[in-house]
Chains A and B, each alone.
Chain A
């Protein structure tokens, strides 16, 4: 499985956009990029995923570079409830297993 690299921690001011980067330079052609987040002592929550096109849903936007070697998760207006660990995962659409990296601990500051 392709591995991902994320900064260990980030801060973001409440109301501002939070931009969380992920490097997946060894991603292969059939691997999707998934983003999950985990609020303390809870199970991970699905946010968004994509293959090569940018994606947007009610929670966030996902920007994938043209070479697909990196991506950015954007939370457009961060709130205190967005404080969590954010995981970027790559896996084939035909495969089932998710292997989590260390993630980015995002702290939204009032």
Chain B
């Protein structure tokens, strides 16, 4: 069964609004979650590492004020795209590490964001 739940699966919003995406680990606690972005016909790009109880670590070139990450509990991390613009339209995917399970990273189903 699914290890990671991501919501919503698809969102359309107007330019200038903010969108929140949730990532939940099911049946286990995840101290670390990851957020990726994928543009059409391209590979996944790691955006940031979300650490429970502390600030996220962002990859070079990713604006932390634009992509707000909150990891307030051991089962939930959220990514908020603030003041979204059409160029932020993309496929956003979260993942979690299931410790003790050979450090396998499990991915959510992804969220398709379309900014009009």
Inter-chain contact B112/A98, CB cutoff 8 Å: no
Q: CB of B6 within 8 A of chain A? A: yes
Q: CB of B32 within 8 A of chain A? A: yes
B46 contact set on A, CB distance < 8 A: 97-100
Main SS of the interface on chain A? Answer: loop
Known: A97-B46, A102-B43. A46 touches B34 (CB 8 A): no
Distance of A36 Cα from B38 Cα, bound (Å) = 15
Q: How many residues of B contact A (CB 8 A)?
A: 24
Distance of A87 Cα from B10 Cα, bound (Å) = 24
Inter-chain contact A49/B49, CB cutoff 8 Å: no
Main SS of the interface on chain B? Answer: strand
Q: How many residues of A contact B (CB 8 A)?
A: 20
- Residues of A33-52 whose CB lies within 8 A of B: 34, 36, 38, 41-46, 49
Known: A96-B34, A97-B49, A98-B34. A43 touches B43 (CB 8 A): no
Report the nearest A residue to B98, measured CB to CB: A46
A96 contact set on B, CB distance < 8 A: 32, 34, 49, 97, 103, 105
CB of B110 to closest CB in A, whole Å: 5
Inter-chain contact A43/B102, CB cutoff 8 Å: no
A101 contact set on B, CB distance < 8 A: 43
Report the nearest A residue to B3, measured CB to CB: A46
Known: A41-B112, A45-B107, A97-B34. A103 touches B91 (CB 8 A): no
Inter-chain contact B112/A44, CB cutoff 8 Å: no
Inter-chain contact B97/A44, CB cutoff 8 Å: no
Report the nearest B residue to A42, measured CB to CB: B109
Known: A87-B43, A96-B97, A100-B43. A42 touches B49 (CB 8 A): no
User: Of A38, A41, A44, A93, which is within 8 A of B103 by CB?
Assistant: A93
Inter-chain contact B103/A43, CB cutoff 8 Å: no
A→B interface (CB under 8 Å): 34, 36, 38, 41-46, 49, 87, 93, 96-103
B→A interface (CB under 8 Å): 4, 6, 32, 34, 36, 43-46, 49, 91, 93, 95, 97, 102-110, 112
A-B contact pairs, 23 of them (CB 8 A): A34-B105, A41-B110, A42-B110, A43-B93, A43-B95, A43-B108, A43-B110, A44-B93, A44-B95, A45-B107, A46-B106, A49-B104, A87-B44, A93-B103, A96-B97, A96-B103, A96-B105, A97-B46, A98-B95, A99-B46, A100-B36, A100-B44, A101-B43
